[in-house]
Structure 1
């Protein structure tokens, strides 16, 4: 089942999944200009980007829901409720996680290491599901794909669709009443007039407000920290926004620095983005240097487990993946990426050995697009990359290339030596 949200809305999609008692994944994608709450204000300093979400179902019930960016910022916010957010740095993603749900894998690692109780885990998942559905049920534009697939296992909890949807629809309708003063849960409240606000509130309340309303913490984050829904938090600050005592700002988005080129805004179009997954340091540095120097946006990752979560955040246009790696080999990574709706069409090029006929056959079986035999030279690498994503944009050098140039010829020669060692 797939289509566009101007043909069928999210509520109807969820009802069909519930009625059919389906098990699988729903993937929804929309661009920033059509984000749930009207998106960010026009700001050329922000890059064009898309929003995406995954919802996992088991027999017509929701087991988990998440955004498609693959990062752990949301989970860290929820863990702050229980003062265990720092523990996230000491665990690795559990192997049980679906490729589409790295956050879920880390949550299970915390449970397996007894850093989080099952009750706390269930509470976090319920909140994540509510937050995700609040965004999805606010959407009017976008595309979706629902695919039958094995259930996300193990399951900590499952939630009935109908009562959750009924509750969240009411919240979405109530949220609209806060317009135009509050436009998005990603806006950050900031105190506009401290003196008047101090006079309007009891001293203890003011101190609490001063702590949270700092211009850096969004309404969405406050809801996570306080274990409240987004609407409740928004309603609490709404009267003060009306009175002009509190103002709303959007979080600052860090942009790449093009100051050295006299550019103060994001370019109109980003260069092709490429991820190289290889545990060999020489290969990684050489590939990254060659591609960045030719106008691509290249990122090399040595740890295959970390790569699975990072690719969702980076959203590459092409993936280069070595076959022989510890923990997860290239076949497993390719198969897992192909099982994800988000990477069904992304070109995946496997880096094979010199006598790798069997490797190439296996690579095709797991869904690889093409292969590149090691050792390879710069021209071979560029020819294959250009075949699938086109030429790079030499007008937009990457920060690490600019750094190499700034540090002088010695650094550049060292990287060239590494590149030469690949082809020798």
Structure 2
């Protein structure tokens, strides 16, 4: 990975815009903090970072989607299985018509603004490594953001933050009172009470600003005199735990019942296709596994023994024909229904698909009725719910 300074990093963003790059841009600070920017045709559609992803997601959803009761959301481990789970949660809320596209745009733009600011602060003090990955994850993003506009806003935000004397303080730090008696002599009883309630080391500066319904800059600037006097200290805090519902160990009987629920596997390098299949099948009570890396398909299939397999025809490294032929050579999958997915509907493709052992052929885009027709036709009656 090439080492670049802040100016070089900005040039990298500008290059991605100019060449209309689609893929991922990975950056990492000398301290090991990582950011991943997801690009589509030269525009940033999402960004992730490893320090406080759930704190940030929760705070921005609370700010821009006040109707969403995060504490009541039922989330399981699979909801956090992707690196960009935070984007997937937004997508799910949008598809359920619980939030609007305008709200999604605001969250995307503010997530990008915050993480660009954090990246700029890191780059101001240490080198940043950078590399591109051509793998496209978000094929049909909900929001597009101009990198040039975001970079301009980042420069302005960093300039204002630095000029306020805050360059050494991250807005992800949490203020905590360490000299209560000194503070009590400096402020009124009302202010002191607010300080004790809010400045407790549990909230980052950004979270504190939201609670106070202000921008993080004036809030932090107002705390600076107390920080310099040693009355308040800024400390690092961990991310909030992900609100996953724990699934207890099942009894032998419940395991047997689960094994009777149809398991559908979709092998497709397109996350869009996999997610669409999951949205069709999960509400019906079916188990579902998506496999985007074809090289891992065989080991996963052997472990889980699905009732039916949807298999993409065109994938990197190995194609659907090769995987299908390989599966038919394994006795475990001799009779497993394998449905080929393809963007074309040529006679030659259909013939070849039959030759390698598939029993069905489905053209893209995926349509709910067609998927259900295939499920009804090929999933054993004894396995149906």
TM-score range, shorter chain: 0.5 to 0.7
1:149 match: secondary structure: coil
1:29: which partner in 2? Answer: 28
8 Å CA contact 2:18, 2:42 repeated in 1: yes
Aligned alpha-carbon RMSD (Å): 5.0
8 Å CA contact 1:197, 1:245 repeated in 2: yes
Whole-Å Cα distance in 2 between the matches of residues 159 and 236 of structure 1? 32
When residues 234 and 204 of structure 1 are mapped into structure 2, their CA distance, relative to the original with a 3 A threshold, is same
When residues 192 and 20 of structure 1 are mapped into structure 2, their CA distance, relative to the original with a 3 A threshold, is same
1:316-339 CA-to-partner distances (Å, cap 9, x unmatched) read xxxxxxxxx95433xx3x31xx49
8 Å CA contact 1:91, 1:106 repeated in 2: no
* Alpha-carbon offset, residue 173 of structure 1: 4.5
Whole-Å Cα distance in 2 between the matches of residues 348 and 228 of structure 1? 53
2:288: which partner in 1? Answer: 328
* Alpha-carbon offset, residue 106 of structure 1: 0.9
2:179 to 170, 193, 209: 193
* Alpha-carbon offset, residue 208 of structure 1: 3.5
Whole-Å Cα distance in 2 between the matches of residues 181 and 242 of structure 1? 14
* Alpha-carbon offset, residue 12 of structure 1: 1.1
Aligned pairs for 1:119-134 (under 5 A) are 119-134=102-117
Whole-Å Cα distance in 2 between the matches of residues 99 and 195 of structure 1? 47
Whole-Å Cα distance in 2 between the matches of residues 183 and 304 of structure 1? 49
2:153 match: secondary structure: helix
1:12: which partner in 2? Answer: 11
Whole-Å Cα distance in 1 between the matches of residues 304 and 79 of structure 2? 33
Whole-Å Cα distance in 2 between the matches of residues 53 and 205 of structure 1? 38
* Alpha-carbon offset, residue 78 of structure 1: 2.1
Whole-Å Cα distance in 1 between the matches of residues 232 and 164 of structure 2? 14
1:222: which partner in 2? Answer: 208
1:149: which partner in 2? Answer: 136
TM norm structure 2: 0.55
2:229: which partner in 1? Answer: 243
Gap regions ≥5 residues in structure 1: 36-49, 255-278, 286-302, 306-324, 376-424
Whole-Å Cα distance in 2 between the matches of residues 108 and 253 of structure 1? 22
Gap regions ≥5 residues in structure 2: 241-248, 256-262, 266-284, 333-385
1:14 match: secondary structure: helix
1:240 match: secondary structure: helix
8 Å CA contact 2:177, 2:233 repeated in 1: yes
Of structures 1 and 2, the larger Rg is shown by 2
1:337-396 CA-to-partner distances (Å, cap 9, x unmatched) read x49xxxx9x99943517999x99x99965899xx9x999xxxxxxxxxxxxxxxxxxxxx
2:172 match: secondary structure: coil
8 Å CA contact 2:58, 2:70 repeated in 1: no
Whole-Å Cα distance in 1 between the matches of residues 225 and 135 of structure 2? 46
When residues 77 and 352 of structure 1 are mapped into structure 2, their CA distance, relative to the original with a 3 A threshold, is same
1:350 match: secondary structure: helix
Whole-Å Cα distance in 1 between the matches of residues 203 and 304 of structure 2? 53
2:234 match: secondary structure: strand
2:134 match: secondary structure: strand
8 Å CA contact 1:56, 1:62 repeated in 2: yes
8 Å CA contact 2:24, 2:136 repeated in 1: yes
Are 1:55 and 2:7 matched, yes or no?
no
Whole-Å Cα distance in 1 between the matches of residues 178 and 264 of structure 2? 47
1:291-328 CA-to-partner distances (Å, cap 9, x unmatched) read xxxxxxxxxxxx999xxxxxxxxxxxxxxxxxxx9543
TM norm structure 1: 0.51
Are 1:79 and 2:66 matched, yes or no?
no
1:411: which partner in 2? Answer: none
2:375: which partner in 1? Answer: none
* Alpha-carbon offset, residue 75 of structure 1: 1.4
When residues 231 and 23 of structure 1 are mapped into structure 2, their CA distance, relative to the original with a 3 A threshold, is farther
When residues 245 and 70 of structure 1 are mapped into structure 2, their CA distance, relative to the original with a 3 A threshold, is closer
1:64: which partner in 2? Answer: 46
